[in-house]
Amino acid sequence: MASDMKGFFRQQKKNKSGGIVKPKSSSKKNSSASDVVQPPALVSHGSFDLQDEYDDKEEVLRQFDVNMAYGPCLGMSRLERWERANAWGLHPPKEVKDLLGAGKVNSECLWGGRV
């Protein structure tokens, strides 16, 4: 039966030279069939461009931003929110305050200026 099916539903084209054939271009513009998100040429420093100025210091601060125990993060700078949490006895992590004091980090929350 299987062989009948095989003959019935052709797996391959009968004639390879005839019929409609697309012209093949000699130089491929991109490896569009690949699974990789970005073509190798665009990957910089060995890591993907998905990072976007987002290092682990920012990660810690972002976790502080979305932590609901300290309230909403929009409309206040990160330091102000930390000070408020501290004043209310919520014991916000000291690490966050140190990072904010060190500088070179975003003083606004992750949605700051974008909403």
Partner 1 sequence: MAAAPMPMEVDSGNGVLHRKQSIYKSLDESFEIQKEMYRGQQYSQIYFARLHLMRTLLYSLLPTWKPHLPVCTVLGLEEGKECIIVGTIYKHMKLKPSILDEYSKERSASPLVQPHNFINSDDYLVLEDESGRVKLRGTVLLPSVYVTGIVVALQGKETGAGDFMVEDILEAGLPHQTELPLNSGEDKYVVLVSGLSVGSSSANPLHFQLFVDHITGHLGDEKEQGIAAQIVQVIIAGNSVEYPRGLLNGQNLGSKDQSRLSEPIKELDILLTQIASGIPVDIMPGTTDPANFSMPQQPLHRCLFPGSSAYNTFRSCTNPHSFELDNVRFLGTSGQNIDDLAKYSDAKDKLGFLERTLRWRHIAPTAPNTLGCYPFTDRDPFFVEICPHVYFVGNQDKYETSLIKGSDGQLVRLICIPRFAETGTAVVLNLRNLECHTLSFGTQLGL
What residues make contact with partner 1 under the rule CB under 8 A?
Answer: 68-69, 71-72, 74-77, 80, 84, 87-88
Pick the closer one to partner 1 by CB: 42 or 69: 69
**Minimum gap (Å) between residue 68 Cβ and partner 1:** 4
CA dihedral 101, 102, 103, 104 (to 10 degrees): -140
* Residue 58 backbone phi and psi in degrees, to 5: -65, -35
Pick the closer one to partner 1 by CB: 96 or 109: 109
CB-based burial label for 67 (10 Å; 0-12, 13-18, 19+): middle
Pick the closer one to partner 1 by CB: 102 or 115: 115
**Minimum gap (Å) between residue 51 Cβ and partner 1:** 28
**Minimum gap (Å) between residue 57 Cβ and partner 1:** 24
For residue 31, give the 3-state DSSP assignment: coil
